[in-house]
Amino acid sequence: MAAEFKEISPNASVVQKVDNWMRNRFPTAYDSYKVHMSEYYAPKNFNFWYFFGSLALLVLVIQIVTGIFLVMHYKPDAALAFASVEYIMRDVPWGWLIRYMHSTGASAFFVVVYLHMFKALIYGSYRKPRELVWIFGCTIFLMLMAEAFMGYLLPWGQMSYWGAQVIVNLFSAVPFIGPDLSLMIRGDYVVSDATLNRFFSFHVIAVPLVLIGLVVAHLLALHDVGSNNPDGIDIKAPNYPKDAQGHSVDGIPFHPYYSVHDMVGVAVFLMVFSAIIFFAPELGGYFLEYNNFIPADPLKTPPHIAPVWYFTPFYSMLRATTDPMVNVFCIVIALATAWAFFKSRLSFMAKAAIVVAAAIAIVLLKTFDAKFWGVVVMGGAVIILFFLPWLDHAPVRSIRYRPRWNYWLYGVFVVFFVILAYLGIEPPSEGKTLLAQVGTMYYFGFFLLMPWWSRLGEFRPVPERITFAH
């Protein structure tokens, strides 16, 4: 059946005629615009924390566009890679700007993603019915880490080479399959030209395609269930007050209200982003390490190897997992099991199952070496985020209506996360390792004990409608 074409007056303007011509031939685009922009109603009380989602999308576009221009001149060859980056920086017109936009964009991406995830953490944006939105977001974070790690090798500088060597070697700690797994990742027995080609292929083609697909899925899932807000009140709930058109009385169209609202965040972000690019692109060695301006030398190991700052919290957890730390894990498991057996009201069979599981866990902890458990801890620090919707048992979503001591709990969590990030850059010492171990225990305790502490205290009543002040 042929589609019905809408007619337009012959006296209409050229713009109206072109618009009508497009509407008749591509109505899906106009329907999508309505669903996701002009007729997508979002809560009217968004604050500055809600800038970071759109900023993450902006940085993704910056990374893709600048990456395309860098690929035009980059040579994925161990003998030529470093020289091709220098060629881009020195001889390609505006090449230095493109390269600095891309390198600064990588750090900016993690800044806005970390802040975006923290917003979800404090306002409960991972709670029902947005579990899938959160899972897509965590998967984006995981893919972003893979993308950044593979891209970090491409300049073929000293820190790129040795950082990749250290991280890939971690996979060899996996029992039974570790050596073969690390060999498969490298494509050789050492980080070499084969590794560079593999990482280049994944960084430029495979991971970006997955990343774009996940971002689309993340946005579609969000718009299906509706956005959360600082009050944690669902304006799409069936019993929420509606206007004559059936929209929530406390919702406003995303366009033009939030599209213009986000432009303010974009303007501020671009000013800061440009200031870093033009005045401090290395940012004291945190965004671009000084060792990475030296060509990769497999025969000369840098005195201190550390990943880029956005990986260092998890790298700190890896280094903090020593034999004494494993013994602490065993003691914690034993104490938790004893409490469950003697104090809980579980059935005898459930208690017996807990004791057996704890015994197996302790045997496994003592069987494999600390290096392997360090890899498990580092990976677990990311994987545990996926389970957050089922760990939080608080009766309210937003931190606004939780007990006041929750502010301190979340604040200490942020402080320890920043401390872990700093310690991951610094050379290890006995005192720093101890501090990293405390931070690691707090990080995992925050999430693993959440089913218990999230229900404690006196919760304030949540208003029937969202609160908003101009």
Domain boundary residue among 293, 321, 345?
Answer: 293
Question: 416 is in which domain, residue-wise?
Answer: 311-453
Closest by CA to 212, choosing from 4, 85, 265, 204, is: 204
Residue ranges for the known binding site for heme b are 102, 116, 203, 218
**What's the chain's average pLDDT?**
91
Residue ranges for the known binding site for a ubiquinone are 223
pLDDT at 470 > cutoff 80 = no
In a domain, 17, yes or no: no
Three-class DSSP category at 41? strand
Are residues 136 and 256 located together in one domain of the fold? yes
In a domain, 275, yes or no: yes
Give pLDDT, residue 3. 55
Domain boundary residue among 293, 326, 345?
Answer: 293
Angle at which helix 207-225 crosses helix 51-71, to 10 degrees, equals 160
In a domain, 422, yes or no: yes
Are residues 216 and 331 located together in one domain of the fold? no
Give pLDDT, residue 453. 95
How does DSSP assign 253-287, residue by residue? Answer: EIIIIIHHHHHHHHHHHHHHHHHHHHH-TTGGGTS
Are residues 138 and 270 located together in one domain of the fold? yes
Q: What is the largest CA-CA distance in the chain?
A: 86
pTM: 0.93
Are residues 232 and 340 located together in one domain of the fold? no
Mean pLDDT of 425-431: 90
Identity of residue 373? W
Give pLDDT, residue 272. 97
Are residues 315 and 284 located together in one domain of the fold? no
- Give the CATH number for residue 73: 1.20.810.10
In a domain, 18, yes or no: no
In a domain, 11, yes or no: no
Mean pLDDT of 300-314: 89
**Cβ atoms of residues 81 and 155 within 8 Å:** yes
23-53 pLDDT, tens digit per residue, is 888 888 888 888 888 888 899 989 999 999 9
In a domain, 404, yes or no: yes
What is the C-alpha to C-alpha distance for residues 159 and 176, in angstroms, rounded to an integer? 29
In a domain, 37, yes or no: no
Give the CA angle between residues 96, 97, 99 to the nearest 5°. Answer: 65
Are residues 238 and 89 located together in one domain of the fold? yes
